[in-house]
Structure 1
């Protein structure tokens, strides 16, 4: 049984312009939709064109963690979400968990234009062969640091160095944090996401020992950026946002550890219980995320690349280099996180680290 919230009922009944799907067919009237996404992906200026074109207001519900998003879907706490933002690395639990709606790619023409690296990903398909997620945005997660406070470029070992006690930060995300501990322990990058039980236990010990060295486990990239600006944090496993925001006003660095550069890819999805009317808007929105308007806005406003090359030739060589589309071979050097089959054990270990 699908439970309709008061917001869904009112917004469905509200008068608004007709929606035009990818093929130009008239769609149902819906006043607004809510997109659960990261604050760096969902700035208002990135979706203004879609709103103006369709008359549908895109509201944001900013995520705090990947794990929290999945838990909300499983528990029903995410009932007000229309569009979702699961990561490619954790896609299997969403697909196998039955929380997503199958997507009709015939209504998302730009999906056929994705780079080969993102085409036909088995992880976004169910046992029924249907597609449940669409990769739309990708990049790398570096170590960001204050270059005026660090004499040399940090690596993962710096995040465990007592010399910088109180100045370090880690993202509150089990998959990446435990993998970083594994890399710091010397586990091969090819095996770091399939650690054995004893290796996972050792990684937990390493993270427990690290905890007193940290200023914070960050959830909001805006909060982390502010901590860099005030000097409370000088080195963090991060998104690139603090570097981009602060590099023109202070000496900032963005390190790519030799042990493995963490690549990431965000996907578009919809909850299994979404109405047909909202799902039609969702497919149009997915096509927009893969198209030139969002692509150009997020490339120049956020230094991120979409999974299609539709705006690549509009960028200067420097802009292409900034989002790593000048040489797509860089993807071969990325360490793409993959949630292991025993991810529940990883989550348990991570919660025990934070509670220690």
Structure 2
């Protein structure tokens, strides 16, 4: 989720490489990729274009919902590659918008980390429609100079010492997931919670609200609250940790053993892509999962690719920064899913906030 910090909410279309009319006329295959701006930087993609007979146009998105709406409204006929969240792929498959990934044409997919090979997200009837692309975590970030010890999720529900100095993101899905992890609700039940379990969640969320300084929406606002000391601990994206650490503050990042919320975006191919365009798309997908792109993403993002293709070419410091130095962090990942009763989750969340 932290990658969205760097995006503009409006759509923007650009051409890459020799993408003027002349360049496009010379290319055998012309592809359009709808994606996040930070994934499609020119220098990330130029090595692929230099070695292929492809022209690539990029259309930037501001939200997952925007991307889905455009495809469902008929955009799938002109788009060759998209970047849905791992937990959002089911929306596309339910609307019959995607085709399965042809793994024979994507050999670098053999290098997917085991966590991504095992997940059932992005799949329907055993076939993969959204292949994991890049990922990260949403941890607890805290002022190490203003807290006695590394926190876990219990800091948001127990004790009084940090009352009024805690912050939680204003997002029902993640907020209720955190309460469920604190309560010890098993992962295989978390997104299928019954009325009794949701009542327990509501009870602890009411306690949590009494301890919060704020529910945050803007990561910039949260960063400022950390800087002033008004907030000492928050469920956060990663950027405040590095931003404030670089400014000399003693920051900490905690990955609770009860579970860490992981995020992952995928690459997916709309259903209507066929023939030479389809072959070119899978050639591009293979590049995006390969070592050249992975190394550029690791240092330029910095983000972790879903495969190990570039891992040995990344120094230890950068590996640690993008969470691939110690892959055991994935053992505690809880991937976001779409609860069947999500409307009830949102109603519960809003009721807590309004109390």
TM-score w.r.t. length of structure 1: 0.74
1:189 offset after TM fit, Å? 5.1
Q: Which runs of 5+ in 2 are unaligned?
A: 1-11
1:260 offset after TM fit, Å? 1.7
Do residues 15 (structure 1) and 21 (structure 2) align? yes
TM-score w.r.t. length of structure 2: 0.74
Give the whole-Å Cα distance in 1 for the aligned partners of 2:188 and 2:73. 36
Query: Is the 2:33–2:82 Cα contact (8 Å) retained in structure 1?
Result: no
Query: Is the 1:33–1:278 Cα contact (8 Å) retained in structure 2?
Result: no
Seen in structure 2, the aligned counterparts of structure 1 residues 69 and 278 have a Cα distance that, compared at 3 Å, is farther
Seen in structure 2, the aligned counterparts of structure 1 residues 138 and 33 have a Cα distance that, compared at 3 Å, is closer
The Cα RMSD (Å) is 4.0
How many correspondences in the alignment? 334
Q: Which runs of 5+ in 1 are unaligned?
A: 1-6, 21-25
Give the whole-Å Cα distance in 1 for the aligned partners of 2:75 and 2:165. 34
Partner residue of 1:135? 132
Partner residue of 1:286? 285
SS where residue 138 of structure 1 aligns?
strand
Partner residue of 1:119? 117
1:181 offset after TM fit, Å? 1.2
1:132 offset after TM fit, Å? 1.1
Give the whole-Å Cα distance in 2 for the aligned partners of 1:101 and 1:227. 45
Give the whole-Å Cα distance in 1 for the aligned partners of 2:342 and 2:202. 14
Give the whole-Å Cα distance in 1 for the aligned partners of 2:30 and 2:42. 23
1:279 offset after TM fit, Å? 6.0
Do residues 28 (structure 1) and 25 (structure 2) align? no
Query: Is the 1:28–1:277 Cα contact (8 Å) retained in structure 2?
Result: yes
Q: Which moved more, 1:79-88 or 1:171-180?
A: 79-88
Give the whole-Å Cα distance in 2 for the aligned partners of 1:56 and 1:189. 40
Seen in structure 2, the aligned counterparts of structure 1 residues 107 and 259 have a Cα distance that, compared at 3 Å, is same
Partner residue of 2:84? 86
Q: Which moved more, 1:302-311 or 1:266-275?
A: 266-275
Seen in structure 2, the aligned counterparts of structure 1 residues 76 and 336 have a Cα distance that, compared at 3 Å, is same
Give the whole-Å Cα distance in 2 for the aligned partners of 1:316 and 1:205. 46
